[in-house]
Amino acid sequence: MLISPVDIPLLETQDISHFINGIRLREILTSNQGKTIPSDFYVLNHENFYVIYTSGSTGSPKGVQISYNNLMSFINWMKNDFGLLNHQVFLNQAPFSFDLSVMDIYPCLFLGGSLWMLPKEYIAAPKELFLSLEKSSANVWVSTPSFVDFCLSDDRFSASMLPGLTTFLFCGEALPNTTTVKIRERFPKAVIFNTYGPTECTVAATSIRIDDSLIGKHESLPIGFSKKDGKVYILSETLEEMSNGEKGEIVITGPHVSKGYLNQPELTRKSFFLFNGETAYKTGDLGYMKDGLLFYAGRLDFQVKVNGYRMELEEIEAHLCSLTLVKNAIIVPNYKNEKCEFLTAVVVTRQHEFQKEFQLTAQLKKGLRGILPQYMIPRKFVYRAFLPTTNNGKIDRKKVANEVTT
């Protein structure tokens, strides 16, 4: 089936008033009802269907190009392997700039479902959030584990609030064992899927149903198996396949792998290459196989996730160091239960006239606000006269991290 703008009327948004341009959208939907679009306007084959920007270590974001074929491979997988039905209500929590939203928008469109959109402001307003969830009649839950953890912190979040909820789909960050235990208690009839993948491989490339036999069996939950039309390899630095249990970089091939970054051939060459005759993407994730299952084991670089948002610490550092008040700075992730909860900026300043640290911090945050999205701005700022270095002259990140996180 072809995706085209004529499919848009299938998207029934009950809470349409929450769109910033809600009235305009309603107009567009009504005025296009029943119209057909000439086929020369269709996006097809290797043409870009969407471009989503992700944080880049060089200081500027990278535009991941996702083609029609990439997206179709993803949608077909969603339709066939997750027990989704026609006309279900899908929950949308992720903003459209985060490719997790693709996991609810497109399967929902293709299955003639409805999308229940949670406005961003509700995240800080649990009363409105729970009222909206109660009204949603949602069947399919799509979110980061962080978001469901937030909901689970309130006892009301259970099958009595969402009696029709049959499926939980998670992606974007590690799914803790403890989260799945709570979901099983509160939603005993629902099934849980852990999916894994980067934006460069069209949302997700592996999945596994988390049933009771898996919960608590391993230190961390598995990320499962590759989609049937793709492959996942664990490779060494010299691109040799690692044996069972050995850690290596997760490399993905298949029709869901992007053609690369928009107008960034050098960055594309760094992460995309030919492997066994197919386009392969080097994820920068460490992983290993055990008992025939794939496990995620952290990052090889300075990429972190906060509340599911992906960011390169080096991008934040580059922007912080570009501010006139800053001589040098590094960003330290603060972890709790293996999850990055927030970022701390450790800053060496140039001479300035601020009397108090909070004034300086306010000024630096203001400077960053003009160049970075809010979720990338460090929560905490600490100040140092200098940053310690290792024997080979690099900033001793471990030492600084130990100082500011303990």
Give the footprint of ligand AMP on this chain (CB under 6 A): 54, 99, 171-175, 194, 196, 198-199, 223, 283, 285, 296, 299, 305, 310
User: How is residue 278 written in tokens?
Assistant: 């197919």
Tallying the residues shown for the chain, one arrives at 406
Question: What dihedral do alpha carbons 88, 208, 179, 13 form, nearest 10°?
Answer: -20
How near is the Cβ of 151 to ligand AMP at its closest, in Å?
18
316: closest CA among 55, 53, 54, 52?
55
Rounded distance, CA 387 to CA 237, Å? 30
Rounded distance, CA 246 to CA 269, Å? 26
- Which residues neighbour 331 within 8 Å (Cβ) at sequence distance 6 or greater? 313, 316, 317, 320, 343, 344, 345, 346, 378
Q: Which is nearer to ligand AMP, 60 or 363 (CB)?
A: 60
Please answer whether residues 329 and 349 qualify as being in contact, where contact means their C-beta atoms are separated by less than 8 angstroms. Answer: no
Q: Which is nearer to ligand AMP, 54 or 114 (CB)?
A: 54
Q: Which is nearer to ligand AMP, 9 or 373 (CB)?
A: 373
How near is the Cβ of 177 to ligand AMP at its closest, in Å?
12
How near is the Cβ of 43 to ligand AMP at its closest, in Å?
22
Judged by DSSP in three states, 249 sits in strand
Q: Which is nearer to ligand AMP, 149 or 346 (CB)?
A: 149
Q: 92 has which bridge partners?
A: 117
Rounded distance, CA 363 to CA 369, Å? 10
β-pairing verdict for 380-383 and 339-349: parallel
How near is the Cβ of 130 to ligand AMP at its closest, in Å?
26
Judged by DSSP in three states, 373 sits in coil
Q: Which is nearer to ligand AMP, 146 or 349 (CB)?
A: 146
How near is the Cβ of 171 to ligand AMP at its closest, in Å?
5
User: How is residue 75 written in tokens?
Assistant: 């949608």
How near is the Cβ of 150 to ligand AMP at its closest, in Å?
17
- Which residues neighbour 270 within 8 Å (Cβ) at sequence distance 6 or greater? 282
Rounded distance, CA 171 to CA 224, Å? 12
Cα dist. 324→60, 327, 371, 383 in Å? 19, 8, 14, 15
How near is the Cβ of 369 to ligand AMP at its closest, in Å?
22
Q: Which is nearer to ligand AMP, 173 or 315 (CB)?
A: 173
Please answer whether residues 152 and 186 qualify as being in contact, where contact means their C-beta atoms are separated by less than 8 angstroms. Answer: yes
Q: Which is nearer to ligand AMP, 171 or 346 (CB)?
A: 171
How near is the Cβ of 329 to ligand AMP at its closest, in Å?
24
Q: Which is nearer to ligand AMP, 96 or 358 (CB)?
A: 96
Q: Which is nearer to ligand AMP, 65 or 194 (CB)?
A: 194
How near is the Cβ of 15 to ligand AMP at its closest, in Å?
25
Cα dist. 142→92, 129, 149, 165, 170 in Å? 6, 15, 13, 11, 6
